[in-house]
Amino acid sequence: MPEEAIQHEKALRKFAKHIQKGLNKGSKVNEQKLPYGLVPMRDIIPEGVSGDALIRHYEVTEQGAALHNLKCAINGNSEMSIVPGKHVMLLVNGEIMMSDTPYEARSNRDIIEAARGKVLIAGLGMGMVLVPILQNPAVTSVTVVEKNNNVIKLVYKSLVENGPFTPNEKMKLVLVPGDIFDFKPKPDSYDIIYFDIWPSISTKILKDAAILRKQFKNSLRKAGWMGVWVEKLAMKRQVEDRAAIARARAFRARMKAKQ
């Protein structure tokens, strides 16, 4: 067999192992239990449109899940694997802001499990995490800051009216229309602060998070907890991006040296 063919076969085998490793990891991810207290949002939030915001119900088929998970395995994002099922997504300006897929639920595990006392959340989304948080007896109040009035129109009323809440649990929720970067609470106001205002994982999260952590540092009570949606994954993405840039620069340098 020619040397070129041998190298080609080795590369294919290596790629196949990479995919299989990713698929195995995705299967293990999907076997994880979801955070306690979550419910299907399609039973709470109906389909609708308001300005730039859209709520859509959809179904992930077995084939669709398989193709999605294969893509995740190839790209090294097995933590984003999904399973077949019926779901809801929120789109703003045609971009998916969030959904109630298992991945989205897992990515918000920290805030659901940390919630206690007075809670501040930046970003209403579909209100998915608010269901277990408002039902948590350790939580006394939840202030949600949301800047998009169309999202508020589509989600807030349905969440309060259709959600599995007692009257006392509904009273815990305080909605503040506005931009979290303009929100100025008093010092020592919250036990828990959580920022979830980004549609996807990117290094922009890290830039915004640094600003928000500094801005709300004095608003967090002693022994409080402050978290940022998928911050660790954003850090991983940043490392990968920097490594890719370094490899590209090294390749260009080698090509230039050969000329």
pLDDT tens per residue, range 200-226: 888 899 999 999 999 999 999 999 999
Band of pLDDT at residue 42, cut at 50, 70 and 90: very high
Q: Which of 125, 124, 118, 129 is nearest to 216 (CA)?
A: 118
Name every residue whose Cβ is closer than 8 Å to that of residue 3 and which is 6 or more positions away in sequence: none
Distance separating alpha carbons of residues 216 and 161, to the nearest angstrom = 31
Of the chain, the percentage scoring pLDDT greater than 90 comes to 62
Domain locations in the chain as residue ranges? 32-259
* Alpha helices (runs of H) in 76-224, residue ranges in sequence order: 102-107, 109-114, 130-135, 149-162, 167-171, 204-216
Is residue 63 within 8 A of residue 153, CB to CB? The reply is: no
Class in CATH terms, 32-259: alpha beta
Q: Which of 82, 87, 84, 42 is nearest to 62 (CA)?
A: 84
99-145 pLDDT, tens digit each: 998 889 999 999 999 999 999 999 999 999 999 999 999 999 999 99
- pTM across the whole model: 0.86
Q: Which of 163, 140, 156, 141 is nearest to 38 (CA)?
A: 163
Phi, psi for residue 205 in degrees, rounded to 5: -55, -45
